A and B are shown apart, each in its own frame.
Chain A
Amino acid sequence: RKEVEQDPGPFNVPEGATVAFNCTYSNSASQSFFWYRQDCRKEPKLLMSVYSSGNEDGRFTAQLNRASQYISLLIRDSKLSDSATYLCVVTPTSGGYNKLIFGAGTRLAVHP
């Protein structure tokens, strides 16, 4: 079983739609959680951190459920520019300093 699992998609949605991505992780002791965004074969960039209380950044909302080992990302009012691959990232308790475990990513395509 992969340490971090995501639905690969693609999710094809019209502009203005609300879309949600899910991610599950296997290590119950994982400490930190993030969503990264990666445009077509470019470098990943941090989109937002994920906190237990849930957090929001504009149109983006991230949720963490430690009991279910589940992370979600909600995008409201989708824009064409949101088209990208979204990577779920977890840091384990052991392993290297700053070690990030990446999911394989969920691809989003927003169309007019």
Chain B
Amino acid sequence: EAQVTQNPRYLITVTGKKLTVTCSQNMNHEYMSWYRQDPGLGLRQIYYSMNVEVTDKGDVPEGYKVSRKEKRNFPLILESPSPNQTSLYFCASGTGSREQYFGPGTRLTVT
């Protein structure tokens, strides 16, 4: 089954404790992206990757890191999480300026 998976789905952590959210896709897509979704603001792009070893900042990259060492994986790293990073995070993959496929989301709470 073609899908994008994310782990963990739910995470409660404390300020400053490094965490990684994994993302994996099995559709051989070159393009992958991370978004955060906050009430009233919609989805905002954090980082994206056009291919292995090629990443770039989206609209809200501060406080986040990513890596793309393999085509299928695109982890999101929060080196020192803060409460303003409490949000719902989605990973997505796609090809061309067409449909993107989203993972199920990771609900992160930073206390």
Interface of A with B (CB < 8 Å)? 4, 8, 31-32, 34, 41-46, 49, 87, 91, 96-100, 102-105
Contacts and interface: CB of A to CB of B under 8 A. Distances in A.
B43 to A, nearest CB: 4
B102 A104 contact: no
A25 to B, nearest CB: 13
Contacts of B58: 96, 99
B97 A42 contact: no
Contacts, number: 59
Interface string B60-97: 00000000000000000000000000001010001111
B102 A98 contact: no
Contact of A43 (B48, B95, B103, B107): B103
B96 A87 contact: no
A97 B31 contact: yes
A96 B50 contact: yes
A44 B97 contact: no
